[in-house]
Amino acid sequence: MDQKILHRMLEPVIEKAMVPQRVALIFGARRVGKTILLENILKQVKGNVLLLNGDDADTLRLLEERSIANYRRLLHGVDVLAIDEAQQIPDIGHKLKLIVDTIQNIRVIATGSSSFDLLNQSGEPLVGRARQFLLTPFSQKEISQEENVLETRRALPDRLIYGAYPDVVKMENNTDRQNYLEQMAEGYLLKDILKLDGIRNSAGLVSLLKLIAHQVGREVSYDELGKQIGLSRNTVIRYLDLLSKVYIIYSLSGYSGNMRKEVTKSSKWYFYDNGILNVLTGNFKSAALRTDEEMGLLWENYMVSEVVKNSLNRDGLEKFYFWRTYDKKEIDLLAASPGGAIQAYEFKWGKKKPPVPKSFATAYPHATYHVINPNNYHEFLEL
């Protein structure tokens, strides 16, 4: 499967956001296809385009002098300034601010592999001048442009194990997929992690990430995590925040609404991609060789991430939570819209269809409850 022919759902959303005197910032982990997305967007835009790369020494020299005169010379006759790997450019935020404030009708689009790097450089100066977008590994909805429903069903067990990074999706066999993920984890993934600001215990951070992989979808105790790897609670929290900024993991907090018994102070952590989850646990066993409990956790991570990715891909405004009470009633995922609507999702690898918890139905009578399993997920994802 050629990733270049797969339309990224974010593409029209970003194109719409490219307006004069504004910056469109595309974040995302390494190897998710940011450069290809940028190239495809630039093919559609009207006007003269200047494409620069933050890894290129010539780009650094061109932008080094932060002056109106320099940028007017550089951007004379340019309608769209595009910068790939923008986080590599020192003081990029102030430079982009000066450009959009002084170059009339200029549109700017930039990519970066780490929100920590790029926002650290571009965040405050661009307040009110930038829109941020997160590109993830492929969603199944994107892959289904080149798959029919039968092919998608057959591919599901492998997707749960190897994930949906663009290079992984186009590979033909699982040995290549495993090798790719292992090399990426040792190279790009750890490279980004070890570059994070102020990391004094890189081994501890990697150990923490592996612990999270083994506890995916479960409520975590920061104190307990710290005890297992010799880190303080505050360091654990800080490291997890940094890991979320290189788009490996993300967290859900407990939903708090109308009930006193709701658990609100805990967090669950998930991976944007099942392949990265499995490479960190060191487990590439096929679905047929795994326990129901293992498959249930992989299924939950996969489906929670599919819901989150689909929201990101349409620039949705939903907020995501899990729901649990102190008497152990729980729901895997809640999506709360700004208008107050609640969608509740329970993800089951087996065929069981648990009823909505009575306490939830009583507290939130207008919420919609869904049980999603491998037999109906393609309908749920509108494939």
- Domain CATH code at residue 219: 1.10.10.10
pLDDT for position 1: 61
Q: Is the pLDDT of residue 257 over 90?
A: no
pLDDT digits (tens, 9 = 90+) for 117-146: 566 665 578 888 999 999 999 999 999 999
Encoding tokens for residue 247? Answer: 């788009």
Structure tokens at 17: 């956001």
Q: Is 174 found in the same domain as 92? A: no
Reply yes or no on whether the pLDDT at 81 is more than 80: yes
Residues 122 and 207 in one domain: no
Instruction: Check whether residue 94 and residue 170 sit in a common domain.
Output: no
Q: Within 83-164, where are the H helices?
A: 92-102, 115-122, 140-143, 149-162
* Final residue in a domain of this structure, among 93, 119, 134: 134
Mean pLDDT (the chain) is 92
- Is pTM beyond 0.85? Reply is yes
Gap between the Cα atoms of 369 and 347, Å rounded: 11
Regarding whether 174 and 322 lie in a shared domain, the answer is yes
Q: Are residues 368 and 242 in the same domain?
A: yes
Say whether both 47 and 180 belong to one domain. no
Q: How many CB atoms lie within 10 A of CB 87?
A: 22
Query: Both 198 and 126 in a single domain?
Result: no
Residues 169 and 119 both lie in one domain: no
Instruction: Note whether 229 and 208 are within 8 A (CB).
Output: yes
- The domain that holds 97 is classified in CATH as 3.40.50.300
CA distances from 307 to 140, 142, 168, 180, 326 (A): 10, 13, 20, 26, 26
Provide the residue count of the chain: 383
State what percent of residues in the chain have pLDDT above 90. Answer: 79
**Residues linked to residue 26 through DSSP beta bridges, in sequence order:** 111, 133
Q: How many domains does the chain have?
A: 2
pLDDT score recorded for residue 187: 79
More confident residue, 80 or 185: 80
The residue segments making up the domain with residue 217 are: 140-380
Task: Name 71's Cβ contacts closer than 8 Å, sequence gap at least 6.
Answer: 95, 98, 99, 102, 103
With vertex at residue 251, the alpha carbon angle to CA 249 and CA 256, rounded to the nearest 5 degrees, is 170
Chain centroid to CA 138: 10
**Can you read off the two tokens belonging to residue 368?**
């919609």
Q: Can you say whether the dihedral through the CA atoms of 153, 142, 214, 173 is positive or negative?
A: positive
The average pLDDT across 230-257 equals 92
Give the pLDDT mean for 49-67: 97
For residue 143 the two structure tokens come to 């892959």
**How far is 336 from 343, CA to CA, in rounded Å?**
7
Instruction: Label residue 293 exposed, middle or buried (CB < 10 Å: 0-12, 13-18, 19+).
Output: exposed
Q: Is 262 helix (H, G, I), strand (E, B) or coil?
A: strand
Domain match, 246 and 108 both = no
Whether residues 183 and 91 share a domain: the answer is no
Structural contact between residues 36 and 4, judged by C-beta atoms closer than 8 angstroms: yes
Domain edge (last residue) among 107, 134, 161: 134
> Is residue 125 domain-shared with residue 149, that is, in the same domain?
no
Q: Report how far residue 348's alpha carbon sits from residue 239's, in angstroms, rounded to the nearest whole number.
A: 31
199-222 pLDDT tens trace: 777 788 889 999 999 999 999 999
Backbone angles phi, psi at 62, to 5 degrees: -60, -35
Last-in-domain residue among 134, 155, 180:
134
Distant-in-sequence, close-in-space partners of 40: CB < 8 Å, separation ≥ 6: 4, 8, 11
Q: What are phi and psi of 361, to 5 degrees?
A: -60, -35
Residues 152, 84: one domain? no
Q: Could you report the per-residue pLDDT of 148-204, keeping only the tens digit for each?
A: 999 999 999 999 999 999 999 999 999 999 999 999 988 777 766 777 666 777 788
* E strand intervals along the chain: 22-27, 49-53, 80-84, 107-112, 130-134, 219-220, 249-254, 267-271, 319-324, 330-336, 342-347, 368-372
Q: Residue 224 — φ and ψ, nearest 5°?
A: -65, -40
